Chains A and B, each alone.
Chain A
Amino acid sequence: MTISLPPRMTYRDGLATAMRRAMAESDNTIIIGQGVTDHKGIFGTTSDLHKEFPGRVIETPLSEDAVTGLCVGGAINGLYPINTHIRADFGLLAVNQLINMAAKYKYMFGGLFQVPMLVRMVIGRSWGQGAQHSQSLQSLFAHIPGLTVVMPSTPEAILRTYDHAVRTHKGPVVSFEHRLMYDLSFDTDQHPPVTDPFGSRLERRGKDVTIVATSIMVLEARRAAAHLAQHGIDCEVIDLHCVSRPDRKMIMDSVTKTGKLVVADTSWLPYGVSAEVCRIVAESDPGVLKAPVVNLGMALAPCPTAKSLEDVYYPDLHLTIDAVAKLVRGKADHGVPIPTHKSMTDFYKHFRGPF
């Protein structure tokens, strides 16, 4: 499927375009959730669609559980529901329906039903989102057979992935969008066409080290790679994208070439994406590793609110550069200068509160 993209696009425009396309594509699509018809329109991604597609963009009560069940019931009866949660944390109220119902309805009944639906969960970060507006819950859902979990890191990934989800894939997809990326502009022409829209993406070729990253950490990995390239370190960057079905071959081909692996995820390390990527290497051929794996993720605590704490809670560019340089050079005094310290949210400083 070819998708024509303008040369530059924000993440938000990618989402808004994907939503409009999904609605225009078929009269069976609905967008449903809290705030989908209001003036903010899920950070501008559903704005005015209720006027264009009356009756199919549906405001809901604060009932995440039953609204998700309603989507499951809609899906098995011919609708394509797109359900939004302005914070992934609120999606936890929908876990019974997502895990016990959506993920099971096909298998448990021996293939009698299909559950085509998309759940959009937004990961919050910065401006004091705190412990309950900031969680990256991808591994919780990726653990469950039956759910496809994606983390688009570019407008290109959004458009191709959502198009594939809506038109072709017949099962439940949970997508984690990152709030910090909504305002960022991306060059859209630098992406090679993908054969599998849900597949992992080789974002940058390099020979010294493999960085496997998710979501906004893909952007940090690319910034780190650009800096490290000026100092003689050549990084290969893989955007894992579909965390529930990582491209094992892409990961192993890369690590076999570089011998060194950094996993940079937006979430906690234990039992998460980092652990899963390490499982892939450990099961496939741990002998290709020339050094221990380095994992970057959130500190193992709930997210603090104070900015000074938040700035040290998340892995950032400086930590990434330092960790990669140490791994490649094999020593702490690796000689790569660390750029002047600026917190990630200051860098992506378009983001100011309240939401």
Chain B
Amino acid sequence: MSRNDRYQELFRQALRIRLVEEKVIELYPSDKIQSPVHLSIGQEAVAVGVCEALRPEDAVYITYRGHAFYMAKGGPLPELMAELYGRRNGVSGGKAGSMHLAAPQVGVMGASAVVGSTISVAVGGAMANRILKKPGLSVVCFGDGATEQGTYHESLNLASLYGLPALFLCENNGLAVHASLAERQSYRILEHARSYGIETVRIDEGWDFLKIGDVTRQVTDAMRADGRPRVMEVMTCRYKEHVGPGEDFAAGYRSQAEVEAWMAKDPLCADTALVAELKPALDAEIDQAVAFAEAGELPGLDDLLTDVY
């Protein structure tokens, strides 16, 4: 693939995620989606770049802010939309909603809404692959806030101690809900990670899916060779409010100018010509997904007690 083809393909994937989430914003006032939504808008390039370097047998463990990784790893879009609608034809029959996306057939191994709680689960996935002699890396995506949890420390230690190929991917958007890094952290994320004997890499250009793809490829190639964990921190920017479809710059907890400066570098904002070229086909796909969701049945009493044990 030429550089241009690759740029265009990754751009298309990132734009697809953004347009899906913009559709969520458009639909939200109708109350057709009755589930909290944590939008990835602004952060799509991380998911797209990382997943470009992953193979089908690689697994991702994600969070409540999971639409982007679900789609970038290949989770089906109609079933995603139906899941947001709480329909039986959703990927989890309506029991998951926006916060608990999974598609194990493409390696999306589940999203948790308890911050930090999939980190150790991903380490367990890496251990299972080693014991069962199966190929595939475990990638766990989490926010900067999750690094404050004790389980993150325990998991880094386990992965390093047992020598497991788990990629700890921190999407650092500088915020946990409304609290800044400075209000929360007395340590530097990668410095701390290196104290476990884990190699680290940081990417500042979280809008640059090409760079993120390249770096992830180098990191994952090294992991496939040595079977060791890595920690990767990607600086990124959440454009919307923490949860919900709106913006909340008026609340004053962060600077709108900084977000606008970030947007100026974001290809999805800057490259309006390519957006115009790709949008019609993507819109058509999204409309079909919405139609699929709206045609879905509502789950009912028959479904209430299935899959408990």
Chain A positions near chain B (C-beta within 8 angstroms): 27-28, 30, 55-56, 58, 60-61, 63, 65-79, 81, 96-97, 100-101, 105-113, 145-146, 148, 171
Contacts and interface: CB of A to CB of B under 8 A. Distances in A.
Nearest to B83: A110
Given A65-B154, A79-B132, 4 more contacts: A76-B124, A77-B134, A108-B96, A146-B309
Contacts of B154: 61, 63, 65-67
Interface size class of B (residues with CB under 8 A): 35 or more
A86 B235 CA distance: 42
A98 to B, nearest CB: 11
A338 B117 CA distance: 53
B125 A65 contact: no
Contacts of A76: 109-110, 121, 124-125
Which 7 A-B pairs have CB atoms at the shortest separation, nearest pair first? A73-B124, A69-B120, A110-B92, A66-B154, A77-B128, A70-B124, A63-B154
A63 B119 CA distance: 13
A325 to B, nearest CB: 40
Nearest to A147: B309
22 contacts: A28-B131, A28-B132, A66-B123, A66-B154, A66-B155, A66-B158, A69-B155, A70-B121, A70-B127, A70-B155, A73-B127, A79-B124, A79-B132, A101-B114, A106-B308, A108-B96, A109-B92, A110-B91, A113-B102, A113-B104, A145-B308, A146-B309
Contacts of A97: 117, 120-121
A70 B120 contact: yes
B230 interface: no
A101 B112 contact: yes
Given A61-B157, A69-B119, A109 B127 contact: no
Nearest to A103: B308
B211 to A, nearest CB: 30
Interface of B: 59, 61, 90-96, 100, 102-104, 109-110, 112, 114, 117-129, 131-132, 134, 138, 150-151, 154-155, 157-158, 161-162, 306-309
A73 B125 CA distance: 5
B125 A108 contact: no
B123 A69 contact: yes
Contacts of B309: 106, 145-146, 148, 171
Given A61-B158, A65-B120, A72-B124, A106 B114 contact: no
Contacts of A109: 92, 95-96, 100, 102, 110
Given A76-B109, A146-B308, A100 B117 contact: yes
B114 A96 contact: yes
B18 to A, nearest CB: 25
A69 B308 contact: no
B131 A55 contact: yes
Nearest to B133: A27
A25 B124 CA distance: 21
A30 B96 CA distance: 30
Contacts of B122: 73
A73 B128 contact: yes
A74 B117 CA distance: 14
B113 to A, nearest CB: 9
Q: Which of A106, A112, A146 has the most CB of B within 10 A?
A: A112
B60 to A, nearest CB: 12
Contacts of A100: 112, 114, 117
Nearest to B104: A112
A96 B102 CA distance: 20
B117 A110 contact: no
Contact of A65 (B92, B94, B150): B150
A226 B114 CA distance: 51
A63 B155 CA distance: 9
Contacts of B306: 111
Contacts of A56: 131
A105 B309 CA distance: 10
B119 A77 contact: no
Nearest to A29: B131
Contacts of A78: 128, 132, 134
B77 to A, nearest CB: 17
Contacts of A71: 124
A75 B154 CA distance: 19
B102 A73 contact: no
Nearest to B91: A110
